[in-house]
């Protein structure tokens, strides 16, 4: 009955039997411990599996990189102040004529983030939603 020699070996057997879809009662009978011990072992094992692993640290946060739009952000805010109903496509066309080499999507993402709320009136903030993520 008692086929285990150490606590680690017992835990290994209990977890292995549980992985084979044996009931807790059958596991307790086969390794020679009480059902409560089996329950405690399996609960501790599940808790340990769900916890964060210390062996693998989370990846480091990266510093923000400059974008092609950075030199033109002031111009975008000027356009919003001057023309309250200007479209993103029109902003893109104006920036293109001024030498902007980025894409329409870059301009669109910049304008749609919540930071654009400072350029628009509260009635227009419907267009300034974070719908891209």
Question: What angle, 0 to 180 degrees and rounded to 10, lies between the N-to-C axes of helices 24-31 and 7-19?
Answer: 140
CA 19 to chain CA centroid, Å, is: 30
What residue segments make up the domains of the chain, in order of their start? Answer: 7-50, 70-127
Question: Is 77 exposed, middle or buried, given 0-12, 13-18 or 19+ CB atoms closer than 10 A?
Answer: middle
Name the percent of the chain in helix, strand, coil, to the closest 5.
Answer: 60, 0, 40
Question: Model-level pTM?
Answer: 0.44
- Does the pLDDT of residue 125 top 50, yes or no? no
**Could you give the dihedral angle defined by the CA atoms of residues 87, 90, 96 and 98, in that order, rounded to the nearest 10 degrees?**
-100
* pLDDT tens-digit series, residues 52-64: 777 777 788 888 8
* pLDDT tens-digit series, residues 24-41: 999 999 999 999 999 999
Structure tokens at 9: 């070996």
């Amino acid at each position: 009955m008692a086929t285990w020699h150490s606590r680690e070996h017992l835990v290994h057997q209990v977890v292995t039997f549980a992985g084979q879809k044996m009931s807790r009662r059958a596991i307790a009978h086969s390794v020679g411990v009480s059902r409560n011990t089996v329950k405690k072992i399996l609960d501790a094992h599940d808790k340990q599996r769900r916890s964060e692993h210390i062996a693998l640290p989370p990846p480091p946060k990266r510093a923000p990189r400059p974008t092609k739009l950075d030199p033109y952000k002031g111009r975008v805010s000027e356009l919003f102040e001057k023309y309250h109903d200007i479209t993103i496509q029109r902003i893109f066309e104006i920036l293109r004529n001024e030498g902007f080499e980025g894409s329409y999507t870059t301009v669109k993402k910049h304008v749609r983030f919540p930071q654009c709320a400072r350029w628009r009136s509260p009635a227009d903030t419907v267009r300034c939603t974070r719908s891209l993520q």
